[in-house]
Copies of this chain bind each other. A is one copy, B any other.
Amino acid sequence: MTTTEEKILTAAIELMAEKDYQAVTTKEIAKAANVSEMTLFRHFGSKMNLLEAAVERFSIIVPLWQTVEKQISWNLEADLLLIAQLYQSLIRQNKKAFTVLYKESKHFPHLKEKVMYKNPVSLKNHLVEYFREMQARGQMIDVNPEVPAVGFLYMNLNAVLGINDLLSQLDESEFILQAVRIFARGLKA
């Protein structure tokens, strides 16, 4: 029991993730949503509006750190693994919106700000704080905590969005596990 609007939004984000803004046509979206083109315009007014709504609809912003804080153990490897898993599942949920935004950020400046910027940046800040605390506890080597924070986020981001062909035989969850291990080992005091 999906509403008409939902059907259209879903079709739109799907096609946008595949092609680019200009390449996707309203006719195409309507067809994919099993809806007449008119309906689409009646609901969203313009192609631009529709695509903006679609990206917004599928951009999930989660207060990820709240979950982290509840389960934090102040053990580097365990905590990093937790964060990596939560973050990657978040990215996976947002994958299509991310892909679209990455390609078409010019078209949706304020959405880019909201989804691609705020989300990872606030996570980065929390990570930096966490690393600082770990350093204070003498559990982590002395580095500018921004470096591991950014490096860690990059690795996770690419593990989901990146040129997956590179990973090839590697199982994704296995990759996280081992990568986190190496990371934690490199940071441990």
Q: Is A170 an interface residue (CB 8 A)?
A: yes
Nearest chain B CB to A80 CB, angstrom units: 11
B170 touches A147 (CB 8 A): yes
Q: Interface code A100-135, partner B: CB below 8 Å = 1, 0 otherwise?
A: 001110100000000011001100100000000000
Is A163 an interface residue when CB atoms closer than 8 A count as contact? yes
When the two chains form the complex, which single residue of B21, B157, B184 contacts A162, counting CB atoms closer than 8 Å? B157
Q: A21-B20, A23-B21, A106-B19 are in contact. Are A166 and B150 (CB under 8 A)?
A: yes
Contact B163 A116 (CB under 8 A): yes
Interface: A187 (CB within 8 A) = yes
Do A175 and B159 contact each other (CB < 8 Å), given the known contacts A106-B18, A166-B153?
Answer: no
Contact B154 A159 (CB under 8 A): yes
A159 CB to closest chain B CB, in angstroms? Answer: 7
A182 to B155, CA, bound (A): 13
Q: Are A147 and B22 in contact (CB under 8 A)?
A: no
A146 at the interface (CB under 8 A from B): yes
Bound CA–CA A144/B179 (angstroms) = 10
A39 lies within 8 A of chain B by Cβ: no
Q: Taking beta carbons and an 8 Å cutoff, which residues of A are in contact with B?
A: 18-23, 102-104, 106, 116-117, 120-121, 124, 141, 143-144, 146-148, 150-151, 153-155, 157-159, 162-163, 165-167, 169-170, 174-175, 178-179, 181-187
